[in-house]
Amino acid sequence: MSDPQQWHGTTILSLRKGNRVVIAGDGQVSIGQTIIKSNARKVRPLAGGSVISGFAGATADAMTLFERLEAKLEQYPLQLTRACVELAKDWRTDRYLRRLEAMMIVADKQISLVLTGTGDVLEPEHSLIGIGSGGNYALAAARALIDTDMDADAIARKAMGIAAEICVYTNNNVVVESLAC
């Protein structure tokens, strides 16, 4: 499996503020130095809208993981952490899934998590998560903005805009999904 730190081509940010949790993702898909698509949708609701998720990494791999997570959420309804742990176990031990190159952020009303192919299911400090090539830029911007009067959606959009100004693999075509907490 490739080192997730080397993946290029997306920025996903999640944050919690007030009574909202948001996940934002840019729309750029790049192969090498070429932009292939500018309006990809890397953030989506799952489990009938009770969970939101975003991915960084190979698109086909992420679609497989979305499907697997949906199945785990059906198996363990209203238990996001349990569903994610079960997915991470499969991801790490299954010969096919082990080769998938993606990371995911998932959130429901109670918790936000990062899932990786190395078996990690991590809850972030300060309810802020950034993944992908521009993830650290968006994360830093969101940390700087979290104590302002801006709401969660506005912080996510502003932070993603800042990341797009810095990271050549991130664009301003941002999709934001949110849940009331």
* Nearest Cα to Cα of residue 30 among 130, 139, 168: 168
Domain containing 40 equals: 4-180
Residue pLDDT, tens place only, 127-180: 899 999 999 999 999 999 999 999 999 999 999 999 999 999 999 999 999 999
The tokens describing 73, both together, are 């959420």
Overall number of domains in the chain: 1
CA distances from 32 to 23, 35, 40, 116, 168 (A): 26, 8, 17, 23, 11
* Nearest Cα to Cα of residue 9 among 131, 162, 100, 124: 131
What DSSP assignment string belongs to 67-104? HHHHHHHHHSTT-HHHHHHHHHHHHHH-TTGGG--EEE
The residues assigned a catalytic role are 10
CATH value at residue 100: 3.60.20.10
Please tell me the pTM assigned to this model.
0.91
Cα-trace Rg, the chain: 15
Report the percentage of the chain scoring pLDDT > 70.
Answer: 92
Residue pLDDT, tens place only, 7-40: 456 899 999 999 999 999 999 988 888 888 999 9
Residue pLDDT, tens place only, 96-107: 666 667 889 999
